[in-house]
Amino acid sequence: MKILVIGGGGREHAVIKSLKKNERVTTVYALPGNGGIAADAECYPVKATDLDGIVNFATTHEVDFAVVTPDDPLVLGCVDRLEASGIPCFGPSAAAAIIEGSKVFSKNLMKKYGIPTAESETFTDAEQAIAYLKRGSFPAVIKADGLALGKGVVIAQNFAEAESAVREIMCDKVFGASGNSILVEEFLTGPEVSVLSFTDGKTVVPMVSSMDHKRALDGDRGLNTGGMGTVAPNPYYTEAIAKECMETIFLPTVRAMNAEGRTFKGCLYFGLMLTPKGPKVIEYNCRFGDPETQVVLPLLESDLLTIMQAVREGTLSPDVVRFQKGAACCVVLASEGYPKKYESGYEITLPQTGENESIFVAGAKKEGDRILSAGGRVLGAVATAASLKDAVTGAYALAEKIHFQNAYMRKDIGKRALAALEE
Ligand code: AMP
Ligand code: GLY
């Protein structure tokens, strides 16, 4: 089978490595992929948002199955276009991807169907939002409606910060049309959990839970990033909480999307906060998380392609999704300075990986036989083990063997999770 994967980050590298475990897979194409993914897939320079280019590639290369991973092509309707051209696809339609594409849509959905989430108000006018914030309490959470490269959320500690965030988003349009509407949301507290799930619109099968580390610096300080590391499972996500989330969040969301005529098929990502008043939805994503996927898929025991085909065909059942009992840790190596200014173009030397190790490359380009860093987040060093403690030790041991000039990593990935296990 010829498989096409759209995207070019560490998450896509993890998806590709999992898909390749299936013996039926003969060829994997990645559009655009990257210099590290090139070791596992044939990469072609077609942008993930170039839908015409993608459809043209898929039909001329007679692709048997396509996996669309990033948010923007999903929201633009990449799956609809490929399916209309006769290419079976894993991923939601544009009508369903709106659950991530518009935070106003998803907030209204949760309100309408009684799915627990932060209280909020929607604004299309900056002055009204500012007047509302003036009367409100802090911290307050301000969210641009549309996609904003993961940067559209501001936690304002006081009115001055809130006002400048509103002006940047709504007047200066730092995220373009994504800032035409905003949400002002109640600030929630509690441990955060990421739960990726497979759903065919009828059945929802959660994957192993995970914990992201979004801030740039140790101790959860510094700027928000795309994610500096992950662990799975998330120790705060107990069986009792999982059961509650299934009943109050996962199934109600899938049913709500059906009721709206927007059946979701694909990977539905629940960003949850375990508040003192119970689990609440912080965000939905219409896709695999990055870098959550890098710890979730290495723990998947059953076959990813079989699951993805069942999702598309509407025949998903919980028994095709099996995870091994252990734990996984991903330590991201970034270019020093990320998420602000950084230098790249440095040669990366990679060690051989052992059976319980993986290196998923996020930002690299090929130059002859060498691979050079080409992005903020360069790669993830991943280890699986029977215990979280050993997975963390293993991921750091692997990370220490990877070299490029100006490599930066957090030194405390998994620390909070390990502490929670001891509580
Ligand atoms: P998002 O882009 O929606 O994932 O938001 C980025 C981060 O902002 C989340 O991972 C949370 O840490 C934080 N966040 C978002 N919404 C809230 C909220 N209502 N209360 C507290 N923190 C939030
Ligand atoms: N790691 C968070 C995300 O993928 O949006």
Choosing from 283, 285, 286, 292 the residue with most ligand 1 atoms within 8 A of its CB, the one to mutate for a pocket test is 283
Q: From the CA of 226, how far away is ligand 2's center (Å)? A: 7
| Residue bearing the CA closest to ligand 2, atom 4 | 289
DSSP, residue by residue, 346-378: -B-B-PPP-TTEEEEESSEEEETTEEEE-SSEE
Which atom number of ligand 2 is nearest to the Cα of residue 227?
1
Q: Is-contact 59 81, C-beta < 8 A?
A: no
Encoded tokens for 412: 């405390």
Q: What is the distance in A from the centroid of ligand 2 to the CA of 269?
A: 9
* Ligand 1 contact via 282 beta carbon (within 6 Å): yes
Angle formed by the axes of helices 304-313 and 10-19, nearest 10°: 100
User: b/e string for 355-369 if b means 16 or more Cβ within 10 A?
Assistant: ebbbbbbbbbbbeee
Q: What pLDDT is attached to residue 61?
A: 98
Per-residue pLDDT 10s for the chain (423 aa) are 999 999 999 999 999 999 999 999 999 999 999 999 999 999 999 999 999 999 999 999 999 999 999 999 999 999 999 999 999 999 999 999 999 999 999 999 999 999 999 999 999 999 999 999 999 899 999 999 999 877 789 999 999 999 999 999 999 998 989 989 999 999 999 999 999 999 999 999 999 999 999 999 999 999 889 899 999 999 999 999 999 999 999 999 999 999 999 999 999 999 999 999 999 999 999 999 999 999 999 999 999 999 999 999 999 999 999 999 999 999 999 999 999 999 999 999 999 999 999 999 999 999 999 999 999 999 999 999 999 999 999 999 999 999 999 999 999 999 999 999 988
Q: Nearest ligand, CA of residue 212?
A: 2
**Ligand index nearest the alpha carbon of residue 280:** 1
| Sheet containing strand 140-144, strands side by side | 120-123, 182-186, 140-144, 153-156
Closest alpha carbon to 353 in 388, 402, 317, 310: 402
For residue 407, the cross-strand partners are 335
Q: How far is CA 310 from CA 72, 91, 247, 266, 319, in A?
A: 24, 12, 23, 10, 11
Assign 3-class secondary structure to 88-100.
CEECCCHHHHHHH
Q: Which ligand is nearest to the CA of 178?
A: 1
At 423 the pLDDT is: 80
Buried b (16+ CB within 10 A) or exposed e, 62-87: ebbbbbbbbbbbbbbbbbbbbbeeeb
Q: How far is the CA of 291 from the centre of ligand 2 (A)?
A: 7
Which atom in ligand 2 lies closest to the alpha carbon of residue 285?
Answer: 5
Kindly give the pairing relationship between strand 192-199 and strand 27-32.
Answer: unpaired
Q: Which pTM value belongs to this model?
A: 0.96
- 28 beta partners: 3
Whether the ω angle into residue 298 lies within 30 degrees of 0, i.e. cis, is no
pLDDT of residue 238: 97
Q: What is the structure's pLDDT at 152?
A: 85
| CA 94/CA 151 separation, integer angstroms | 21
